[in-house]
Amino acid sequence: MRVRRTRPSLRELFDAHEGRLVHKVDHYFPIYERHLGRFVGRRPRVLEIGVAQGGSLELWHRWFGRGTVTIGVDVEERSTAFRGRRRHIEIGDQGDVAFLRRVAEEHGPFDIVLDDGSHRAEHQVLLLETLWDDLAADGVLIVEDLHTDYWPSYGGGHLRPGTFIERVKPLLDDVNAHNSREESFRPTRFTETLVGIHVYDSVVVLERGDHRPYTTSMAGRPVFDTVNDLPIDDAIPADHLARIARMNRPTRRLRRALRHPGLVVRAVERRAPGRRRDVTR
């Protein structure tokens, strides 16, 4: 009998890591698992801003598995030592739009973009505005170490305009703009492409996808003669009214009775207390 091997978690790989140095905030690991776990085994293209000692590039390859491609960006020329098979290193300033565009054109689209670079507020905002459209259709952008958005030495401060935290707040409106009934508030490019905003201590995760106005569905049969204060014929779509009509056919009632005889008997007893009949006839 073959025993299926369970893939180790990212935290387990980190704890067992003996390669190049990796430095991570401990509570980031569940965040990575939650939002990036679906890419394991899918050969993702990962852009990481900030290479440091090169250990995180090794870790991403081990976790995501064979076929993973990583592109590391750093200002340090020594980072070129980490180039290898399916591991690219680009040297440049993440505050340079032309440089970011060149990286995206040569290596994109990206399934994952991780900003662990300068940690300066203006660079974090620039990354979002410059590379959002270079994410894959279901890509994820993670900006981490956002505690620096509250540090003046990094261009941050509480409620200070221009920080990434302050840039994210209007995105809450953008993702809901399809619901607007005001001409002054209309959908933006983020309304059409942003499907999830997740905010954690020092981390923001943005999920890209095809975001359209919400739709609704109905199932089952109405209990009362109104739905949402409207008559049934006005509140329930024609296709579901037809489905309800099919539910009420004798053969459908019989099947329900055979599946749940106790429920049907109790319903009959409520209609005629003291009387019981065989409802399956």
Cα–Cα distance, 227 to 235 (Å, whole number): 6
267 domain residue, yes or no: no
Q: 35, 61, 119, 211: which one is catalytic? A: 119
Could you give the CA distance from residue 199 to residue 143 in angstroms, rounded to a whole number?
10
Domain membership flag for residue 147: yes
Assigned domain for 254 exists: no
Residue pLDDT, tens place only, 49-101: 999 999 999 999 999 999 999 999 999 999 999 999 999 999 999 999 999 99
Q: Are 80 and 51 in contact (CB under 8 A)?
A: no
Is 29 part of a structural domain of the chain? yes
188 pLDDT higher than 60: yes
The CATH number of the domain where 166 resides is what? 3.40.50.150
Question: How many percent of the chain have pLDDT more than 70?
Answer: 88
**Is residue 270 within 8 Å of residue 252, measured between CB atoms?**
no
Determine, yes or no, domain membership for 62.
yes
Sequence-distant (≥ 6) Cβ neighbours of residue 178 within 8 angstroms: 187, 191, 211, 212, 213, 214
pTM here?
Answer: 0.85
Q: Tell me, what's the pLDDT at 278?
A: 47
Residue 275 has pLDDT above 80, yes or no: no
Range of lowest pLDDT (29-43, 160-174, 181-195, 238-252): 238-252
The pLDDT assigned to 257 comes to 64
Residue 219 lies in a domain: no
Residue 173 structural domain: 10-208
For the question of residue 88 being annotated catalytic, the response is no
Q: How many domains does the chain have?
A: 1
Which amino acid type is present at position 212?
A: R
Classify residue 84 by its DSSP letter. Answer: B
Q: Is residue 178 part of a domain?
A: yes
Q: Domain for residue 33, yes or no?
A: yes
